[in-house]
Amino acid sequence: MSVRTRFAPSPTGYLHIGGARTALFNYLFARRHGGQYLLRIEDTDRQRSTQEAVQQILDSLEWLGLTPDEPPVFQSTREPRHAEVARELLARGRAYLAYDTPEELAAMRAAAEAQKRPFKYDGSRWMTLDPKDAPSVPPAIRIKAPREGDTVVEDLVQGTVRVSNAELDDMIILRSDGAPTYLHAVVVDDHDMAITHVIRGDDHLTNTFRQCMVYDAMGWHRPRFAHVPLIHGADGAKLSKRHGAVGALEFRDQGFLPEAVCNYLLRLGWGHGDTEIISREDVLRIFDIADVGRAAARMDYAKLLHFNGVWLRQADDERLTKEVLARLAKHGVAFGTLGGDRVRMLMPDLKSRAKTLEDLASSAAFAAFEGPPPMDPKAKALLTEEAKARLADLARFLTDAPWERQDLDSWLRDYAEVKGVKLGQVAQPLRVALSGSTQSPPIDAVLWALGRTEAMDRILAAAE
């Protein structure tokens, strides 16, 4: 049987980074075994589900390179099928009609709370009810839970997990208004989609035992389950906005590369020796869900930033240039063809120290400008009268310089030697004039990328 996994988010908000990791594990497991990875949008919560959230989930998965192999399934379109299975269980005698009113259920819960015991629904009075004695209220359909023995799940991450059937109750599978419950719908959908492996967060582990009741009552083969630990913040608490970015697209907007985010999420709970930086092609050869640990992983934003820096340095310069120019345009920096060409020429030097695409865009902005760039206060303070005189002298010296990078480096060193000053005393005022900052790529690279005309204009403007 071909492996089929699924990622099943609810479109009630952004795609959480923990959900993104679950999608990644499903994708990798399916690819590793030559199977299919699917997407199901669980949009049965009509009040909270939005089309905007659906689109955000689709955009997030596309950005991360986790596009499913088939069009998404929308759970809300399958409600007639969910109801059909519930009625089939009723016809088989594996479920029954329950006529409890909301007030009666509330009273049962209150009584259990007063007695300090867990609430467990007892529907024995309805199981033998003669239809002619049924109350005149719409009934719900409840599944008959097993009363004896244990339900055992051989989890691919958690190992053997069991629960006493005495702890299970007769859960509702079809509400009195005809709407299916989530725990029932998920089982029907997974069965009909031929899902062989359910890989999800371990917060669903308790749901699994209840869902097994539906599989077993219908005589359906259970999928293999793998419940992966959640992602916590550095303080051990559930990851939330107070820890930092948690939405997948937030990381995109902050300038992270998708391969860096996926690489980091992969290593957040999964390990293969000491290997940290690993490409998707490489991980597809070695990924095993059994290598996922059982303990909750802790989000380390500093480490993610390190990963991103490594991937930036490996990234194609043309791709990074397009990303940077798009960000500069978004930030209102106007540039023409020449500005784009300069950024492209400087990219090998720019990316060597950057950690994010936002860093790259910020450090590249000076090259995109036509004319003298805006000057930050620290740089402006360095433009003393002595520095201006140095720039004017440099302008005369560079007038006849050959404009190739290696030649420019030699000319600047010759200038410093002739004037009897350190190279830094030459390069720093030049850097300020050319970039408007005290930090930039190597000065010979900046001169070369700007070109003779633009560079001389900037030097003379600063000297004045």
Sign of CA dihedral 383, 388, 392, 397: negative
Distance CA 299, CA 406 (A): 44
Strands 73-74 and 95-98: unpaired
Encoded amino acid at 415, one letter: Y
Distance CA 279, CA 258 (A): 11
Measured in residues, the chain has a length of 464
Q: Quick check: helix, strand or coil at residue 38?
A: strand
Return the bridge partners of 161, or none.
153
Distance CA 17, CA 248 (A): 5
- Which stretch of DSSP H or E encloses residue 192? helix 182-192
**Identified catalytic residue from 116, 144, 241, 380:** 241
The answer to whether residue 238 is catalytic is no
355 annotated to bind ligand = no
Residue given tokens 């002298």 in the structure block: 393
Q: Which of 13, 25, 4, 15 is nearest to 297 (CA)?
A: 25
Q: Cα 226–227–230 angle (5° rounding)?
A: 145
Return the bridge partners of 225, or none.
198
Return the bridge partners of 178, or none.
none
* 241's tokens: 């906005």
Residue given tokens 């009741």 in the structure block: 213
* 133's tokens: 């004695």
Look up residue 31 and give its DSSP letter: H
Torsion of CA 422, 423, 429, 431, to 10 degrees: -160
* 19's tokens: 């959900």
Give yes or no for a contact between 260 and 304, defined as CB atoms under 8 angstroms apart: yes
* 400's tokens: 């006849």
* CA contacts within 13 A on the Cβ side of 13: 6
Sign of CA dihedral 235, 239, 242, 245: positive
Residue 195's alpha-carbon distances to 33, 36, 210, 222, 320, in angstroms, are 14, 9, 18, 9, 38
Strands 197-201 and 224-228: parallel
Distance CA 374, CA 294 (A): 52
Tell me the binding residues: 241
Tell me the binding residues for ATP: 241
Active site residues: 241
